[in-house]
Amino acid sequence: MNPLTTLLLDTSKGIVEFTYKGSGPPVLLLKGGHSTRDTDLSHSSLIYEGFSLLTISRPGYDYTELSTGRTPEDFADTIVEVLDHLQLKKVNVISISAAGPTGIALAVHHPERVDRLLLEAALLTSWESDVKKRATVLFGPAEKFVWSSLRTMLRFFPDLVLKQLLADLTTENVEDYLDNLTPNDRRFIVDMLATSQSGKGFITDLDHETPDISAIQVPVLGMYSQKDRSVPYTNALLLKSSVPECEIYEVDSDSHLIWIGKDAHTVWKKRLEFLTKT
């Protein structure tokens, strides 16, 4: 397929946007909150490692309609329609952050379609009430204005914006964290913000409930940081205690952003090892 092509599928429940690139064993990527088709947290490089990468935009993001699945279970059914359309019998699944419940729903309700499940800083528990209230104000009807204003401020007051963002992502001192970023890591965060848009997706994410994770029967790798303020490490402990075949890799990262920093190369290595296990 053309690596630049974004496709729309008219499923039984509405329009779903997806891209399908590369050749080789298929990996389904479910991005986290605020992530759009253009947000890349390093996973596109899987194509150059011999995988095909299927990226499906979740409900409310990009052109995927909310009707395709307001709950993780409903959207898991829609994902199966996309897999059937592409004639993919089984996929490896990567779920990031707020996409955790969706990846788990797919593994629990359609285990025959999932080879293995990789959870990267993935949320398994309910959102805290104060987080939900604040997010509803910021990313409800005003979300386009909020993101537009944030990107404008990022051009003129980058450190101020980054500090505000990182305060929700790290348990470390924010100024120290910012000072220790390499130029490449700083560019990663700026690019992430530049491609972020909540649409109606993040508000929908806030109401998601995670299916019974003890029902997962496929191999699972969870990668989490102890210093993640956004998705506490208790999610990793819950996963380890509930899933029979589960490995937890504690990422030596200073924030939710486990894809950058001193341990980023090991995160990449662990991901590849897990996806290539036989």
Express each pLDDT in 188-242 by its tens digit.
999 999 999 999 999 999 999 999 999 999 999 999 999 999 999 999 999 999 9
Q: Which of 142, 137, 60, 47 is nearest to 98 (CA)?
A: 60
Task: Please determine, for residue 3, whether its predicted confidence score (pLDDT) is greater than 50.
Answer: no
Alpha carbon separation from 1 to 23, 89, 128, 263 (Å, rounded): 9, 18, 41, 33
Domain boundaries along the sequence of the chain: 7-128+201-275
pTM, entire model: 0.96
CA 216 to chain centre: 19
- CB 95 within 8 Å of CB 119: yes
- Residue 5: band (very low, low, confident or very high) from pLDDT cuts 50, 70, 90: confident
Fold of 7-128+201-275: Rossmann fold (3.40.50)
Cα 229 to Cα 249: distance, rounded to the nearest angstrom = 17
Q: Is 89 helix (H, G, I), strand (E, B) or coil?
A: coil
Q: In this predicted structure, what is the pLDDT of residue 130?
A: 87
Average pLDDT over residues 133-143: 91
The backbone torsions φ and ψ at residue 15, rounded to the nearest 5 degrees and listed phi first, read -80, 135
Q: In this predicted structure, what is the pLDDT of residue 229?
A: 96
Cα 228 to Cα 186: distance, rounded to the nearest angstrom = 17
Average pLDDT over residues 4-33: 94
Task: Please determine, for residue 1, whether its predicted confidence score (pLDDT) is greater than 50.
Answer: no
- Residue 33: band (very low, low, confident or very high) from pLDDT cuts 50, 70, 90: very high
Cα 251 to Cα 266: distance, rounded to the nearest angstrom = 8
- Residue 49: band (very low, low, confident or very high) from pLDDT cuts 50, 70, 90: very high
Task: Please determine, for residue 103, whether its predicted confidence score (pLDDT) is greater than 70.
Answer: yes
Q: In this predicted structure, what is the pLDDT of residue 129?
A: 87
